Amino acid sequence: MIRIENPKVLQKVVAIEGDVTKPGLGLSPTDLQIIIENTAFIFNLAATVRFDENLRTAFEMNVQGPRRLMKICHKMNNLKVKFILNLII
């Protein structure tokens, strides 16, 4: 549906490799700077949903990962809906 309504909008979507279990999400300094300066929306889809996952791994991915992401979001110049971030942290 979005491709029909606004076909050029998906040209703005960029996937960047990282790792939510690492400090700074495992992003390169260049990618981190691009995100801080240019990104308006963040979708965090990283998680483990295995019920037999090692507790440390699950904690790193499902708790620490979003916290690390929020720290980066607070630095972002163009992020929309910033007020929600203060409720989460």
Asked whether the beta carbons of 32 and 72 are under 8 A apart, the reply is yes
Digit-coded pLDDT (tens) for 1-60 = 667 887 787 787 778 889 999 999 999 999 999 999 998 888 888 888 999 999 999 999
Q: What is the pLDDT of residue 85?
A: 47
Structure tokens at 77: 């110049």
Which is higher by pLDDT, 7 or 86? 7
Q: What is the pLDDT of residue 82?
A: 57
Asked whether the beta carbons of 20 and 57 are under 8 A apart, the reply is no
Asked whether the beta carbons of 25 and 69 are under 8 A apart, the reply is yes
Q: What is the pLDDT of residue 75?
A: 92
The three-state secondary structure class of 9 is: helix
The torsion defined by the Cα of 12, 89, 77 and 61, in degrees rounded to 10, comes to: -40
